[in-house]
Structure 1
């Protein structure tokens, strides 16, 4: 049976087409700009679809292999290591936190949970200055002794190791919501069979939370991968930069012979930030839907 096309169907497809075009256009613009040199970019009136008169792949070679800037490979490596560490930490703390607040009973549990949720109302930008002071005055680090000041853990890998979230609050909330749907009889049956606490947690309950943990892993990796503020404000060494922060610094550091920032290179490196997250979202988007469905949250 052939489908009857009504005006509303045609209108819907037109809206979807132009909506999809609007989403794809920035990627297309970045790719086209990547074929331009810094000199051509600076001397050209950039239109909606910039076409290089003398195309070059130098920017893409720098993105892939660091041909024009060997530090690009280091930026990528730092981004990958930091994202992997934050991902593992977020998943672990979210699951254990959700287990504590959904399975264990202790005085003040609900109050403590509400206090933790309330911290999510504070904009992250508000914490930049207090965090900077905390890192700079970190005890017994960077020259911070009893009678002398120092730099603390600023401009060190401890910024990433310590500066990651101590506990993933929203992840904890989602896991708690999901675990509350699992009957306590499952825990009791496992205890009767001789399972200990750790076995119940990691071999019985944790596999049941795979969709929501996958959702937490995906969203956390996207947030950490795109984070530029932490390395930008708390580190200065090139060896500690991640790709987003390095691009921010290139606005003043990446100079060409004309004395202008190398915007085509910066835009091309932006592709290196955007494409991995697009691929992760494209291939794992079903886990986002499943994860939210398991928590009972409806959009």
Structure 2
């Protein structure tokens, strides 16, 4: 009890109290957009349009309608379908990112072949290309996909545009930065572990998944979290390469609603759009909040410490 009292007294020293007050103020500033979205979600469309918004607006006649649309969907906004598409795409992309990062990291860390360093440096160099530069080439690649969408071989038709193949084929790729982290981590694992496993009759896949993978869990957790966050928040792929409503993910659907609201002669339902944005933000925020320690461990721990 006395030890706890001493710790409590240390925490309530003026210098610590001031530091906590500063952190609390900074936290409020950072959380203000989230708080604003929650309060606006209780507005009706009519009240929102006739209200002069203050720093923290509150509805005079609050309604749960926007939140019900968010969680239950509606006839004019298939929110549940958007959530399902976002979830499927995120899980699928995360799985392939983990698999390719693990296998590529193993190849470049443990195998010996001519030109290995040149190939790896070339792959790393591709990360310097801005994603926007690849939009048009990727669009043409999808549109001219052979024997798909009316194409014969390289011309005509729509290819795999506006199909689930955009997500299934266009999503998976080698996670270059993930492969780099796995490579750096595996290089610090003694190669004698591989040799001992081979003596016991273990094959390559068993060595990768039963021996090396457990040692890479902080790195793999980091790759999984960052990939899931990036995929969940991505709106470029569905926005540019799909047009059907049943293929939209939540960020792309919100972008389309905002674009339609900006067209002449339409009255935007901003409370609904902002509430949908809140639904997009919360899963990513909760994922980061609960697993942020793995992001730190993934960058700090790159192998066995000895």
| TM-score with structure 2 setting the length | 0.91
C-alpha distance in structure 2 between counterparts of 1:127 and 1:146, whole Å: 22
After superposition, the Cα gap between the structure-2 partners of 1:238 and 1:293, relative to the gap in structure 1 and judged at 3 Å, is same
* CA offset digits 1:122-143 (Å, max 9, x no partner): 1111111111111111111111
1:141 pairs with 140, 148, 156, which one? 148
C-alpha distance in structure 1 between counterparts of 2:230 and 2:108, whole Å: 25
1:264 paired residue number = 271
2:33 paired residue number = 26
* CA offset digits 1:27-75 (Å, max 9, x no partner): 1100000001122222222211111121111000011111464511100
Deviation of 1:3 (Å): 2.2
| TM-score with structure 1 setting the length | 0.93
* CA offset digits 1:162-185 (Å, max 9, x no partner): 111410000000101111110000
What stretches of structure 1 of length at least 5 have no aligned partner?
A: none
1:105 paired residue number = 112
C-alpha distance in structure 1 between counterparts of 2:193 and 2:148, whole Å: 47
Deviation of 1:281 (Å): 1.2
Aligned length: 294
Structure 1 segments (4+ residues) deviating >3 Å: 4-11, 67-70, 252-255
For the 8 Å contact 2:218–2:298, the answer to whether it is kept is: yes
* Counterpart secondary structure, 1:295: coil
Question: Aligned runs of 1:259-298 on 2, under 5 Å?
Answer: 259-295=266-302
For the 8 Å contact 2:82–2:249, the answer to whether it is kept is: yes
* Counterpart secondary structure, 2:83: helix
C-alpha distance in structure 1 between counterparts of 2:297 and 2:153, whole Å: 52
For the 8 Å contact 1:59–1:68, the answer to whether it is kept is: no
After superposition, the Cα gap between the structure-2 partners of 1:105 and 1:147, relative to the gap in structure 1 and judged at 3 Å, is closer
2:44 paired residue number = 37
1:61 paired residue number = 68
What stretches of structure 2 of length at least 5 have no aligned partner?
A: 1-5
Matched, 1:220 2:227: yes
C-alpha distance in structure 1 between counterparts of 2:286 and 2:219, whole Å: 19
C-alpha distance in structure 1 between counterparts of 2:202 and 2:121, whole Å: 32
Root-mean-square deviation (Å): 1.8
